[in-house]
Every structure is written in C-alpha cells, then in structure tokens.
Chains A and B, each alone.
Chain A
Amino acid sequence: MLHSCQNCWFNGLQYGALGLSVGYCSRHRIILNAADATTCGLHVRKDLSLDRAQQVAAVHAARYASSLIVRIYGNETAKDDVSSNERDLDSLRSDAVGDVVVEYGMLDSKIESLAQLKAMSGARAEVAMLSLARSYVSHCIGRQGSWTSGLHLYWWTKERLTATPDIAITDIRSTGGLQLARQIELTAWSVVMLRLTVIDDIIEYAAAQDDSFGEVRGLLDKSAEAVSTFNLRTLAKWMRTEALPSLDRMLPYERYVELARQLHKDQSDEAPPAIQAAPAPAPLGFV
C-alpha cells in the first residue's frame, strides 16, 4: 500500500483513504485504475519527509522499471490497471480536480495549474496541489533551480497551515474497516501534515542552498514531538504559537515580496526552459 501509486507524489488524485476511485499519474500521463496495487520505479512516497522519501525511492527504483506501471507483487503489467483511453480521460475531466490534474503540465505552466488547484475548495483539490507541488519543486531543483521555485507554493501552504481540511463524505474512497468519523479525523491529520511536509521540503532545499530560511529545519519532527495525538485543534494551536512565528521570523512578508519580484525578473529574463525528465534521487542509504 505505502509503495503503491496512491501514495506517490505524482498522483494528485489520491492520498490514503482520500480521493477518487482512480488515480492519475502526472509522469506517465495515465489513469491508474488499481492505484493501491500498482507502482513503478519513479515512485516517491508522499507520506515521508524529503530525505526519507528520497532514500526509499532509491531502493524502490532498483526494484522496479521507471517506464512501466506494474503490480507491486509480481512486478507484472496488467492491461486493465491503467488507461489512457480518451473516453476514460473525458470521464475523469468531468471532475473539476481531475480536469486540472489531467491538464497539469500539458498546456500552460505547471505553477498555473497549481494556482488553479489552490483556488478550488475541498480537500481533494488541496491534496492534488500539495502532491504535485512536492514533485514540481523537486523537478525544479533537479534542473539546478533555486529553492525559490517553491516560494509561492510555500506561501500559499503556510497561509492555510492551521485551517481544518475541508473533507466531504464523498472524498473518502474507503474506510478500511475503521469508523467513518475516525477515518475522516485521521485523514484530516494526514492532509495537515502533508502541508507541513511541503513547507519542510522547501526549507530543506533552502538549507541545501545555504539560505537563512533553511534555519527553520525540523518542523515535522518538532510538531510530532509537541503533539502526539491526532487532535487538529491542539496541532493548530502549536502551529500558531510555534511554527508560524518561526517561519515568519525567517521569511517575513517583506522578504517574500522581494524574492517573488526577483523570481519574476529571472523568469522574464530567461527563455522558457525545455522540459526534461527529473533525475533519479541519489541513493542516500538508510539512517
């Protein structure tokens, strides 16, 4: 399950119990009909911090080919597991989040698609934005980009950090035997932590590039040390009193505006870069 397409950051349509009955891979550009059972060598887990996800991805890439979506057990392809049939794609596009996810990277800039998702209500749109944001920034960094390629994604995510995720009953694709209300609570916690993971990714990239923003590293562990239950109110209180002041101290609004101006200037000075495949994560070994 944890190594399946549903838990991969290239699939914006599912995360654990949340999502549609099908996923969509933004790398293979294909509908995932059996996302809980399939995987590929490009898989990057979205439930783990950046370093750990990269370590696990390196082990995973040695076991599975990057070009094929296969069954986790047996490593074999099954034709009904995926689809790029136009009728299926049209059906998926009838869902507002599905539409943006299918179009992601096809026409306008990826950041524009992410902005569309940000503007949409509901936890599914948010999970799509957060999942694809992680893959987007990783891709930019892999092309020698600056950590500021995730600047707006960081700011948007920080702005909603303490909000309770808006999970509708129709957003839950399975309860796995758990009581529905508890499943929703656990899923909401996982979405809040996915926000913090996106923020943590960008802090890690800043630290690797010796930017002072990197000094706020370790928020994921600090949050779990401070709040060892799935109580969102307690978590939101910790974020308001501890995480947000630390973040705002290292990256105040004035610096955000200044960096955003610089980012836009750099982008308008450059010709649009060619699309390249993201490099495979470096094998880091287990801690």
Chain B
Amino acid sequence: MPSNKKWNPGKQPLLRGDSKSGVSVPSPSADDSIVRHILYLEGPGRETPYLSTSEEFEAAKVFAQGGAIWATSVRKANDSGVRHISKSELLSCMKGNGKGKAKWNSAFEVMQARRYVEQWSEHLLDFRTIAEPAAVVALIFEKT
C-alpha cells in the first residue's frame, strides 16, 4: 500500500530488491554519473559506485524479481561512511542538464531519470569513498 505520510529517514528503512544470496557489491571507482546509474545504461552486471534503494516495499519487490528484499537505514549507512543521497536531493539536482554528479549531456535523459527516481521513490547509497564495499554492504543490509 502506498503511504500518504512523508517518509521518515530516522524511523523508516531503505529497501532494496536483490538476489537471495546477498546485495550486489558496488564498485567505488566506477563511473560516478548519477544519470547513467539511474538509467541503467550498461544493464545487468554493470559497474557502479551507487546502490539504489527505495522508500517503498512495493518498489523494492518489483526489483527483487523473486529474489529477496534487503533493508538498511540512513543511520547505518552514515555510520559506515556511506553517503545517503536522498530522493529530494536527487530530484533537486535533476533539472535541465542536471547539476553536480547528475550533470548529463541530454536533458531528456535527465528527465527520464528524474521520472524513475520519483516513480520508484529512489534513494542512492554512495560508496565512492568506501575501501571495502563488500564488507560494508554485508554490515549495513539485512534480509527482511
């Protein structure tokens, strides 16, 4: 059920649909364009320094595709040095040709990415500064 209440970062989890065996491990040194990540241009198996998560269980379920739904929180991510890029932060930097790491050469693709962020209530976890991403992923996510 969609929630009418605003998502609370202090109380509610960030959810991710992934395989049953574990959450995909990000590559901190991979290309860090946010639009490229959200549009999933290289498809399955691509390298990305980000992990997509959602406020909504229903959205995470769609991405789980028969796998599992994993949960973490903004606090857990921050405690491990992983930066949380909130949905509102993503939406605010995705206008026109985008800003910061969401800067992109196609304004149309920025808008499509913006639509997906809103559609999937997406938040990113930024692993660019994490030295041991596999260990941190295992530490902060738990299976629901």
- The answer to whether the Cβ of A60 comes within 8 Å of any Cβ in the partner chain is yes
Tell me if A207 is interfacial: C-beta within 8 Å of chain B: no
A179 within 8 A of B: yes
Distance in angstroms between the alpha carbons of A63 and B107 in the assembled complex: 28
Partner of B119, one of A52, A55, A183, A221: A183
Asked whether A176 lies within 8 Å of B43 as measured between CB atoms, the reply is: no
CB–CB B115/A186 < 8 A: yes
Contact between B19 and A49 (Cβ–Cβ < 8 Å)? no
B62: nearest chain-A partner, CB-CB: A176
Is there an interface contact between A221 and B63, defined as CB atoms closer than 8 Å? no
Q: B65, A36: Cβ atoms under 8 Å? A: yes
Cα of A257 to Cα of B110 in the assembled complex, Å: 36
Which of A97-105, A143-151, A224-232, A247-255 is the contact stretch? A224-232
User: Within 8 Å of chain A (Cβ to Cβ): is B50?
Assistant: no
Asked if A177 meets B2 with Cβ closer than 8 Å, knowing A59-B43, A220-B108, A287-B105, the reply is: yes
B58 at the interface (CB under 8 A from A): yes
Residues of A within 8 A of B97 (CB): 225
B106 contacts A by Cβ under 8 Å:
yes
Nearest residue in A to B1 (C-beta to C-beta)?
A177
79-137 of chain B: CB within 8 A of chain A: 95-97, 105-112, 115-116, 118-121
A168, CB-defined interface residue at 8 Å? no
Do the beta carbons of B43 and A174 come within 8 Å of each other? no
**Which residues from B are CB-within-8-Å of A224?**
96, 106-108, 110-111
- Tell me which of A3, A36, A49, A189 contacts B62 (CB under 8 A): A36
Across the interface, name the chain B residue whose C-beta is closest to A43.
B43
Please tell me if the beta carbons of A221 and B2 are within 8 angstroms of each other in the complex.
no
Interface flag for A33 (CB, 8 Å): no
CB–CB B41/A1 < 8 A: no
**Docked pose: A182 CA to B2 CA in angstroms:** 11
Q: Name the residue on B nearest A37 (C-beta).
A: B65
Partner of A37, one of B55, B66, B115: B66
- Whether the Cβ atoms of B111 and A228 lie closer than 8 Å is yes
Q: A178 touching B44 by the CB < 8 A rule?
A: no
Residue in A1, A179, A221, A230 whose CB lies within 8 Å of B108: A221
CB–CB B65/A73 < 8 A:
yes
Nearest A residue to B120 via CB reads A176
Within the complex, which residue of B56, B107, B108, B116 is in contact with A177, where a contact is CB–CB below 8 Å?
Answer: B56
A3 CB contacts on chain B under 8 angstroms: 40, 43-44
The answer to whether A225 and B119 have CB atoms under 8 Å apart is no
A83 at interface (Cβ–Cβ under 8 A)? no
Chain A positions within 8 Å of B39 at CB level? 2, 48
B45 at the interface (CB under 8 A from A): yes
Give the distance to chain A from B90, nearest Cβ to Cβ, in Å.
14
A71–B64 alpha-carbon span in the complex (Å): 12
* A interface with B by C-beta (< 8 Å): 1-3, 16-17, 36-37, 47-49, 52, 55-56, 59-60, 63, 71-73, 174-180, 182-183, 186, 189-190, 193, 220-225, 228, 230, 286-287
Q: Please give 7 more A-B residue pairs, beta carbons under 8 A apart, in addition to A193-B111, A222-B107, A224-B96.
A: A49-B108, A52-B41, A55-B41, A59-B41, A63-B44, A177-B2, A178-B118
CB pairs A–B below 8 angstroms (20 shown): A1-B62, A2-B39, A3-B40, A37-B66, A47-B112, A48-B112, A56-B41, A60-B43, A72-B65, A73-B44, A176-B62, A178-B56, A178-B119, A189-B115, A193-B112, A220-B108, A224-B96, A224-B111, A225-B96, A230-B115
Closest 9 CB pairs of A and B: A177-B56, A177-B58, A224-B107, A228-B95, A220-B108, A224-B111, A224-B108, A225-B107, A37-B65
